[in-house]
Amino acid sequence: MKRAPPASGFTLIEIAVSTTLFAFISALALSLTGGRLGLEGLAADIRAAGGGAASGQVGVAPGGGGARRVPAMWNGPTTTVTAPGGQTIISNSLFMITTDPTAVGIPADATGMQGLVVEASQGTPLKIVCSDGTGASVDCGNGLLKTLTPLLVGDFRDAVYMTPTVLGAPQNTPPTQQLTYAEMASNAYSPSPKAPFGFAPGAKLIRARVVHWYLWQPTASDPPQLRRSYPVLTSSVLGSACASNDKPFLDETNDSSGNSPAGKDMGGGAIESLQVRFLIDAGGTDDPTRFTMLNTIGVCDTAVPATLREVRLQVVARTANPDVDQVSRNRNLYSTPGFEGVSPSATTMDAYPRRAFTVGVVPRNLQGIRL
């Protein structure tokens, strides 16, 4: 009598274990990859912060009223994230006045177009000129100012956030154009480059944007998101003296009206911690061994960014699935990593593996001069 050959293949338990393990590893890889990609996006915005404002500060005129300076980057509201195991993580956020990467020097719709201020008088339109990659004069309305989006206007040291309203047609030879802007009505900006907010001849015109990076968790049961919003200049006139609670730019984190822009998930997966630190050279030593660290830059700290040499960042990515042994059902416990001596406020651990990603970023525009 012949015996049946022994069965080959895997048992149901083996298939279940391997499937669960594969899903866990896949979730881990996706979360960690998303964490790295989100961090790189934030780092790119930091490198562009300031738009040539080597002084580390940008002039703004909220509500068309009195002008003031704000830092090229400053800390916005903190965010509290609750992890599955109960840890509460206080995360930083970062506002930056930066430039549109699709339109810096080489706008997508006008290759090589450059804009410059050639003449300025207080309370009157700016006289500007645009040229293409060959140096020939061109119509600013064909590229740089095709849509009247905010501009950063500045030289090697100072910059102004300006809201264009009307662009005139090219006139005379060589052609120049008149640019009317919202802040003109209140005489907020001066033609003198030595004034607080001057337009020096030769000042560059760059498309501006304000970005805010932060963590967002609608409820404790929702996974946190690494978000980026594009805040808008407030319509409220700020006081003549800067206050630490001033809000020159508004989004969903600092405006409860529901009318301000909401951020978008930057695809970072379950990122539960965002930490930001600033290395400054307050003594102008240019010696990295003598740099000091700040945890925050306030909206009134206009002198600090000029000494900023590096921004250090950490994000912590958490897996979507817990680490549970499928046979013993034991749970491996993990905690959230700290950063620069700061740890989560609770020590509760849970079964969700984590990985920290760190990077140091040099803001290119803030390295031009030493004040």
What stretches of the chain show up as alpha helix (H) in DSSP?
Answer: 12-48
Q: Which residue has the tokens 């930057």?
A: 266
- pTM, two decimals, is 0.86
155 versus 82: the higher-pLDDT residue is: 82
User: How does pLDDT run across 270-328, given as a tens digit for each residue?
Assistant: 888 999 999 999 888 888 889 999 999 999 998 898 899 999 999 998 888 888 877 77
- Identity of the residue numbered 40: E
Which pLDDT does position 212 carry in this prediction? 97
The percent of residues in the chain predicted with pLDDT above 90, rounded, is 30
Which pLDDT does position 68 carry in this prediction? 84
329 versus 28: the higher-pLDDT residue is: 329
Q: In 3D, which of 189, 208, 226, 103 has the Cα closest to residue 149? A: 208
Which pLDDT does position 200 carry in this prediction? 78
47 versus 198: the higher-pLDDT residue is: 47
Alpha-carbon span 191 to 165, nearest angstrom:
18
Which pLDDT does position 299 carry in this prediction? 94
pLDDT at 54 over 50: yes
Which pLDDT does position 232 carry in this prediction? 94
φ/ψ region of 280 (left if φ > 0, alpha if ψ in -120 to 50, else beta) reads beta
Q: What average pLDDT does this structure show over 74-98?
A: 90
Burial code (b: 16+ CB inside 10 Å, e: under 16) for 128-142 equals bbbbeeeeeebbbbe
pLDDT at 346 over 80: no
pLDDT at 4 over 70: no
Which pLDDT does position 20 carry in this prediction? 53
Which pLDDT does position 112 carry in this prediction? 63
User: How does pLDDT run across 205-233, given as a tens digit for each residue?
Assistant: 888 999 999 999 988 888 899 999 999 99
Which pLDDT does position 248 carry in this prediction? 93
Alpha-carbon span 206 to 105, nearest angstrom:
8
User: How does pLDDT run across 101-155, given as a tens digit for each residue?
Assistant: 665 444 445 556 788 999 988 888 999 999 877 778 889 988 888 888 899 988 7
Alpha-carbon span 183 to 207, nearest angstrom:
16
Which pLDDT does position 230 carry in this prediction? 95
C-alpha neighbours within 13 Å on the C-beta side of residue 70: 29
